[in-house]
């Protein structure tokens, strides 16, 4: 639900997230409708704590290398609201902001390098 444009859009995430990430880095997991055991969560380094935003992307990229399967539920079970003042819409932390773009580009580069065997997963993502 987009508060700014007063629209509603249905988005279907790919069922097999690992295959989606093999084809190219993207945000392929809808975290609010996903489930993970506590042990696996901590084995995948939990969410990054260096910022209050974008941590789910770093976690997703790390899970790609640690988990055999990662799947989305093939149903529409989550309503996401885009609204003023949220971390994804504010000028300082929003999608497209300088700091978020820098983080995503760094993580994307590291993710690609690890996939190619040019960077160890233990090195900071």
Three-class DSSP labels, 35-90: CCCHHHHHHCCCCCCCCCCCHHHHHHHHHHHHCCCCECCCCCCCCCCECCCCCCCC
pLDDT for position 124: 63
Q: Which two tokens stand for residue 60?
A: 């997703």
| Spatial distance between the Cα atoms of 22 and 30, rounded to a whole number of angstroms | 17
Q: Which one is predicted more confidently, 110 or 36?
A: 110
Residue 57 is predicted with a pLDDT of: 81
- pLDDT for position 98: 93
Q: State the pLDDT confidence band at 81, using cuts at 50, 70 and 90.
A: confident
Nearest to 78 by CA among 5, 19, 8: 8
User: What is the average per-residue pLDDT within 93-105?
Assistant: 89
Q: SS3 for 111?
A: helix
State the pLDDT at residue 117: 92
Least confident of 8-17, 28-37, 82-91: 28-37
Percent share of the chain, pLDDT over 90: 8
Residue pair 28/20 in contact by the 8 Å Cβ criterion: yes
Binned at pLDDT 50, 70 and 90, residue 75 comes out as confident
Looking at every residue in the chain, the average pLDDT score rounds to: 81
Q: How many beta carbons lie within 10 A of that of residue 105, not counting itself?
A: 10
Written as six digits, the tokens of 50 are 């260096």
**Hey, how many other C-beta atoms are within 10 angstroms of the C-beta on 49?**
7
CA-to-CA distance for 25 and 40, rounded, in angstroms?
Answer: 22
Residue 27: the pLDDT is 66
Predicted local confidence at residue 16, as pLDDT: 84
């Amino acid at each position: 639900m987009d508060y700014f444009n007063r629209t509603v859009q249905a988005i279907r995430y790919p069922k097999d997230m690992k295959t989606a990430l093999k084809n190219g880095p993207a945000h392929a997991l809808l975290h609010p409708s996903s489930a993970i055991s506590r042990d696996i969560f901590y084995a995948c380094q939990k969410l990054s704590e260096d910022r209050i935003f974008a941590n789910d992307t770093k976690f997703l990229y790390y899970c790609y290398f640690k988990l055999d399967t990662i799947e989305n539920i093939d149903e529409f079970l989550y309503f996401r609201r885009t609204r003023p003042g949220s971390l994804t819409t504010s000028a300082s932390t929003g999608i497209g902001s300088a700091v978020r773009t820098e983080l995503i580009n760094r993580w994307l580069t590291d993710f690609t390098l690890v996939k190619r065997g040019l960077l160890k997963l233990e090195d900071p993502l």
